[in-house]
Amino acid sequence: MYKVFVNDKPLFLTNEVAKETDFQLFLLESVDIEQLIVKMFNNKIKKAYLYYPDEKEILKKVKEKIPVKKAGGGLVYNAEGKVLFIYRNGKWDLPKGGIEKNEDIEDTALREVEEETGVNQLKITRKLQKTYHIFKRGGKYRLKITHWFEMKTNFKGTPTPQANEGIEKVAWLSPEEVRDALGNSYENIKLLFEEENSLI
């Protein structure tokens, strides 16, 4: 099962039919996916399941209905065990960005972290889960698939926010501060920390 966020509301891609309680179930084959997304963006639907019988094919089928944007990002720890966060659009987030032509996704993640925060000397330590969310750009909805990597750095300088990307501040947060920041973050980011669970 995949969990896609539409305006922080969950859209589950599933091959199991559960008894409907607090959500609506749609058939992936016949659904007007744009109408469903609009309803979720407008708070008409709080939680939905998209059903398709073959779990291996489900994401491919969604990609046929909605354009995909691939991104890479980092969950970065410094030598003191603090985590690198950015603050943009009134919320705490992790640095990430879109892949460029002929770029490996690991290189995307490293480049975007450095561009958005000014932090360098980055080293990928392991691959984390992918997250999925739907956003609107230029009047069209797109599915963003973000590949996340845990990174370590010995960077000692002062991080600098990439202002032209709307980043207001960059901060190294302690585990306690991370908990507070996640109270004003995105569901996808919370998922990453659930996976890390040492911090929550």
Q: Are residues 91 and 104 in the same domain?
A: yes
Do the bridges between strand 48-51 and strand 9-14 make them parallel or antiparallel, or are there none, so unpaired?
Answer: parallel
Percent helix / strand / coil, the chain, rounded to 5 = 25, 40, 35
- The tally of domains found in the chain comes to 2
83 and 171 in one domain?
Answer: yes
**What CATH number does residue 110 fall under?**
3.90.79.10
Looking at the whole model, is its pTM more than 0.75? yes
Residues 40 and 91 reside in one and the same domain = no
pLDDT by 10s per residue, the chain, length 200: 899 999 899 999 999 877 666 788 999 999 999 999 999 999 999 999 999 999 999 999 999 999 999 999 999 999 999 999 999 999 999 999 999 999 999 999 999 999 999 999 999 999 999 999 999 888 899 999 999 999 999 999 999 999 999 999 999 999 999 999 999 999 999 999 987 664 44
* Contact of 132 with 143, CB cutoff 8 Å: yes
